[in-house]
Amino acid sequence: MSRHVWSWGLGMLMLVLGMGNLGIMASPPLSTAVVERVVDGDTLRVIMDGQSELVRLIGVDTPESKPNQKAIRDARRQGIPLKAVIRSGIVATQFTQQQVKPGDTIRLAYDRQERDRYHRLLAYVYTDNGKMLNATLLEHGMATPMPIAPNTRYRAWFASLHKP
């Protein structure tokens, strides 16, 4: 039995049972991947079907962990020093590293758009404990909701989880 068929079957079982964070019904995982490394708080590098892929978590945004244009914009928008943004980004990256480690098997569920303009896979990431990493980041105050159409399946749920 192929990995995709098995993952689809597992995903359908999760959908029927309503598994996921806080009892929210999970979308069916469509792919299985192995974590290669955590790039930053909201991006992973994984091995999927023998290929290395970047995965960007849908619907959430963690602070930048390195100085760049986005970090500068975020610092100005929030009225805080750039160093504070970077420190928060490092904390978010470390938190994600605690949730998923190299060699861990994860499940990826997609929304309407599979890739972004940078060719990263866009996914809801389910860890081996069945929880959605995207939601876990919000629950622990490591991320803010960032709904980008058309990938807005969990917009309201993510907004309710956000802890400023």
The closest of 137, 127, 129, 128 to 161, measured between CA atoms, is 137
36 is catalytic: no
Q: Which stretches does DSSP call E strand in the chain?
A: 31-40, 43-48, 51-57, 60-61, 105-109, 121-126, 144-145
Q: Which of the following is catalytic: 76, 115, 120, 155? A: 120
Quick count: other Cβ atoms within 10 Å of Cβ 27? 19
Q: Which of the following is catalytic: 53, 64, 73, 112? A: 64
120 is catalytic: yes
Report yes or no: 55 and 121 within 8 Å, Cβ to Cβ.
yes
Q: Which of the following is catalytic: 45, 56, 76, 117? A: 56
Helix (H, G, I), strand (E, B) or coil at 130: coil
Q: What is the CA radius of gyration of the chain?
A: 16
Residues in the chain: 164
* Residues annotated as part of the active site: 56, 64, 120
